[in-house]
Structure 1
């Protein structure tokens, strides 16, 4: 199964973002710290490189991610030209208060009321852009929801006399190139429910948890993980929690949704679904497969 999700309003949102990019000084790209590269929209990269705009990458939801993996991602991004990366939680005012100073470092030429620093906040759906806006402004001005694609239109705000913000709708790209990226985004609730099958996404998540965080499955559900795969993890959760259909058949749909919700909320523990190393391995494997197909 390949997961694809590109609602119609994102076509106009992409066009509007390209137009607005001409009038801003830098990009604030909000990422989910658990899936930073899988959730980094290549369209955003293409647009900002075309306009040569510096980028502050915010690894949001850092309180849900594996701290050691997040540190590796920060090193990865901070080695790149024109990029500064920081890990934080957009719901915490103390974390968010760091952002204006980091933006000033990236665009020092815009530093007074005559030349205010113009920042555009971008990212895929449901990564916390609206929460960031509300926390920065210390008031609720952007709609926040626990479903992707709540924001549909651009909005502009004055942060202070020297800084302005433009909030943009969550923007996906027309085709997710790698299947694993689609599944990681679905597990992290960045795509609409109509585009996924919970059992398949939860099975994918279960395989990652077995490989890297088996103790969290044991601690949360009391499972003995030896010999399990992603599918049998869901079945075992259903049996342990008493999620049974008529005749004692495990209710896989209910168990799958529980596993996904426990991951998304942090009830399972601090988890990252990709690392710089795993990303590099995946890209190398995909390049090999593609070369073999073209040979």
Structure 2
């Protein structure tokens, strides 16, 4: 299954410049990833863009990912200058750790500023992430109702806002859009099933068939229970038909509406109704 999406080197170069300019204004970067696809949901140039700047990696949507694999990913992604937190922005789990961990990451920097006689100030962080990884939800959850815009600081492009967070933290949303890289069809598939790319650009039926194949290999019993099937059809297109029939997704003449059945499977996977899965393995 091939998902045809263009990766724009020109757009990427512009975004990279914008982010690098804004990085000069912050103490640390907060990089948001989807806990189900920590590799597929990251921009491939991120290490090059962020460089040695302290970084807090947020594994968002951890409530939908395999908890054991999330723990493995946390260990794998941590480095001396990089800390990793798993969060769920919907329920707010792990959110309170963010300001504390950001302060820890930049403690040495702040100590050096204090030694030079500078006044203490809030930790400044930039939030980075590919489109649809949940940046807005993360910022809104972190800020809560006490969001106060602190006005434009020198060197900040018009339209960029510093957002104050309780607990001595200021956030700067990313100026550029860091696209994921779609060249590998597997990455395209993972971005499609997790909802990270627009639904107009992929074939629901093909993606649902591939997802069903994957799910029947991983956890066939979950499919049986969820769709009240006594056994699973030996071929995936028939299984999709069976699921559509069980859910009453029928057109005139009792024919199963395959598109609706495909949309249902992808929707229920995204909502965690088919189980908690991590598609990128550590």
For the residues of structure 1 that align with 2:107 and 2:258, how far apart are their CA atoms? 54
Answering whether residue 76 of structure 2 is matched by residue 76 of structure 1, we say yes
CA contact (8 A) 2:125 2:171 kept: yes
CA shift digits 1:237-276 (9 cap, x unpaired): 1122122233333211000100111011122222222221
SS at the partner of 1:58? strand
Answering whether residue 22 of structure 2 is matched by residue 20 of structure 1, we say yes
Label 1:93 to 1:189 Cα distance change in 2 as closer, same or farther (>3 A): closer
1:130-209 residue pairs with structure 2 within 5 A? 130-139=136-145, 154-159=160-165, 162-168=168-174, 171-173=177-179, 175-209=181-215
CA contact (8 A) 1:208 1:273 kept: no
- Identify the residue that residue 151 of structure 2 maps to in structure 1: none
- Identify the residue that residue 5 of structure 2 maps to in structure 1: 4
- Identify the residue that residue 228 of structure 1 maps to in structure 2: 235
Answering whether residue 123 of structure 2 is matched by residue 117 of structure 1, we say yes
CA contact (8 A) 1:55 1:83 kept: yes
Unpaired runs of 5+ residues, structure 2, are 149-158
- Identify the residue that residue 106 of structure 1 maps to in structure 2: 105
- Identify the residue that residue 283 of structure 1 maps to in structure 2: none
For the residues of structure 2 that align with 1:81 and 1:215, how far apart are their CA atoms? 42
Label 1:155 to 1:183 Cα distance change in 2 as closer, same or farther (>3 A): farther
CA contact (8 A) 2:204 2:259 kept: yes
Label 1:118 to 1:267 Cα distance change in 2 as closer, same or farther (>3 A): same
Deviation of 1:28 (Å): 0.9
TM-score by length of 1: 0.79
Deviation of 1:194 (Å): 1.8
Deviation of 1:11 (Å): 7.0
CA shift digits 1:42-63 (9 cap, x unpaired): 13222012xx112211111111
Deviation of 1:85 (Å): 1.2
- Identify the residue that residue 46 of structure 2 maps to in structure 1: 44
CA contact (8 A) 1:93 1:135 kept: yes
SS at the partner of 1:63? helix
- Identify the residue that residue 250 of structure 2 maps to in structure 1: 244
- Identify the residue that residue 62 of structure 2 maps to in structure 1: 62
Label 1:232 to 1:102 Cα distance change in 2 as closer, same or farther (>3 A): farther
- Identify the residue that residue 84 of structure 2 maps to in structure 1: 85
For the residues of structure 2 that align with 1:183 and 1:240, how far apart are their CA atoms? 26
Label 1:120 to 1:166 Cα distance change in 2 as closer, same or farther (>3 A): same
CA shift digits 1:109-129 (9 cap, x unpaired): 344754532211111222221
CA contact (8 A) 1:155 1:168 kept: no
SS at the partner of 2:240? helix
Higher relative contact order (CA 8 A, sep 6+): 2
For the residues of structure 2 that align with 1:30 and 1:258, how far apart are their CA atoms? 27
Aligned length: 262
Indicate the structure (1 or 2) with the bigger Cα radius of gyration: 2
For the residues of structure 1 that align with 2:202 and 2:81, how far apart are their CA atoms? 35
TM-score by length of 2: 0.82
CA contact (8 A) 2:26 2:125 kept: yes
